[in-house]
Amino acid sequence: MGGLYKPFVDDGIAGFWNDMNEPAIFETPTKTMPLETVHRIDDDGFAPRTANHSEVHNVYGMENGRATYEGLLKLRPNVRPFVMTRAMFAGGQKFAVTWTGDNNSTWDHLKLAVQQMLNLGLSGVAWSGADIPGFIGGASPELATRWYEIAAFTPIYRGHAANDAPRAEPWIDGPEHLAIRRRYIGERYRLMPYLYAVAEQNARTGDPFMRPTFYDYPELAKAPCDQSMAFTLGRDLLVAPSPKPESTYAYNVCMPGPGWFDYWSGLPVLGERKPDAPFEVVRETPTLDRLPVFVRGGAIVPRQPLTQTTSVMPNGPLELHVYPGQDCSGQLYWDDGVSIRGDSLRQTVRCTLGKDGIMLHFDKREGSFRPWWKQIAVTVHGWTGPAKVRGVAGVETDAERRTVRFVIPDQKRASDFVLSRF
């Protein structure tokens, strides 16, 4: 089967989407192959035997994705295959990503999509997405905008709708909605260095890309907030839509302990905390243009200048946003984004808090890949007062945003920078 993709590969098509591969056969009562259809099992260490379709149905979809994956590897031996599949079985995540199927353009299905992707991540299927803004029916402008916002922080970000559904492109509902959607699409591109590091962590450790809040912060399992829509992206970003996404009523967001920052303003979050409670509560009032996103105090989050596609090299320095707190660290990972066997780089960045300042430490870089950035623009959040960095000119402070910003050369070797007030 894999060899059938050769004409498409020769035409330059980079990824393939296997749909209806349950298999779907509408002319039967079960909408799939007749259940008495006989399949032969003879692979992967199983004893050769036959089985009917009622047993093999889910495996069939996985083998379809596997055949595509292995066929593409033969056609392009050192290029990562991109395969999307609607049908899967345990282990199918080795061969393909998936999505949540033919969803409806409703607020309930927006909420359900978040829960489905979290469940898939916990089941080992880290890479999933949902059709934006719903496959069937027509989304209201408000629903579509909210869907574009939330989905920007999910594993796969993809607009898709049925042939007979109303148009669903980002630009169809006028300039106000377009501006909001464009901002969130752009933010996903700006976050690519962070997203790529989280993706590499998933490949190496199995930790989900998109996680329920209790995954890294088990104390939130007992927090007095409705967390049915809240999730973390990696460990460091907490995304907290309203548990009733169509509602304009205020709601509570629970965070694990103090020290979190607002992602958009960069300012420390001032929540309420009861004595001895392991969490902090923030009150949010929904507005259409703002999705509440928070950053863990102690996170170091890499970002990049805006691009219109991942195939374009960013123009400017790598941004490194430091949010001082406990366990202060972040990861840089980069490679060419294409090769299976090739160079890469990995580097840990840490910060240590002192009485009069902060030390930023770069561990020695692993790997020989040469990244696109030549400089690193460091922004330290939550800073007050004057600031200087020994050996660095042009240190800029912003009293209103409570930040310090300075630019340093790319750091390949182990190095320290001390930010102080004196």
- pLDDT tens for 210-235 read 999 999 999 999 899 999 999 999 99
Phi, psi of 98, rounded to the nearest 5 degrees? -140, 175
Q: Are residues 102 and 13 both part of a single domain? A: yes
Q: Are residues 54 and 161 both part of a single domain? A: yes
Q: Which domain holds residue 413?
A: 300-420
Q: Are residues 185 and 259 both part of a single domain? A: no
Whole-angstrom CA distances from 352 to 116, 247, 395 are: 38, 42, 19
Q: Are residues 104 and 173 both part of a single domain? A: yes
CA dihedral of residues 380, 383, 387, 388 (deg, nearest 10):
-30
Q: How far apart are CA 138 and CA 164, in angstroms?
A: 10
Q: Are residues 61 and 135 both part of a single domain? A: yes
Which segment of 88-92, 247-251, 331-335, 411-415 scores lowest on mean pLDDT? 88-92
Active site residue 102: yes
User: What was the pLDDT predicted at 1?
Assistant: 67
Phi, psi of 9, rounded to the nearest 5 degrees? -65, -40
Q: Are residues 379 and 330 both part of a single domain? A: yes
Q: Bigger pLDDT: 324 or 274?
A: 324
Number of structural domains the chain divides into: 3
Q: Are residues 230 and 178 both part of a single domain? A: no
Whole-angstrom CA distances from 420 to 152, 297, 354, 356 are: 36, 19, 9, 6
Last residue of a domain, one of 154, 170, 195: 195
Q: Of the listed 102, 262, 284, 363, which one is catalytic?
A: 102
User: What was the pLDDT predicted at 7?
Assistant: 95
Is pLDDT at 46 greater than 90 in this prediction? no
Last residue of a domain, one of 164, 179, 195: 195
Active site residue 149: no
Give tens-digit pLDDT for 272-285. Answer: 888 778 889 999 99
At 141, which CATH number?
3.20.20.80
Provide, rounded to the nearest whole percent, the portion of the chain with pLDDT above 70: 100
User: What was the pLDDT predicted at 45?
Assistant: 76
Q: Are residues 351 and 213 both part of a single domain? A: no
Parallel/antiparallel/unpaired status of strands 344-353 and 293-295: unpaired
Q: Of the listed 22, 63, 173, 319, which one is catalytic?
A: 22
Is pLDDT at 2 greater than 80 in this prediction? no
Residue 245 has, within 13 A of its CA and on its CB side, a CA count of: 30
Q: How far apart are CA 245 and CA 132, in angstroms?
A: 15
Whole-angstrom CA distances from 185 to 147, 157, 179 are: 11, 9, 10
Q: Are residues 100 and 233 both part of a single domain? A: no
At 370, which CATH number?
2.60.40.1180
Q: Are residues 256 and 325 both part of a single domain? A: no
Last residue of a domain, one of 251, 269, 295: 295
Q: What is the largest CA-CA distance in the chain?
A: 80
Q: Are residues 157 and 290 both part of a single domain? A: no
- Name the pTM for this structure: 0.95
Q: Are residues 149 and 123 both part of a single domain? A: yes
Q: Of the listed 10, 11, 19, 363, which one is catalytic?
A: 19
Active site residue 22: yes
Mean pLDDT score across all residues of the chain = 95
CB crowding 12-21: b at 16 or more within 10 Å, else e = eeeebbbeeb
Containing 112, the helix (H) or strand (E) segment is: helix 107-122
Which segment of 43-57, 210-224, 386-400 scores lowest on mean pLDDT? 43-57
pLDDT band at 361 (very low <50, low <70, confident <90, very high): very high
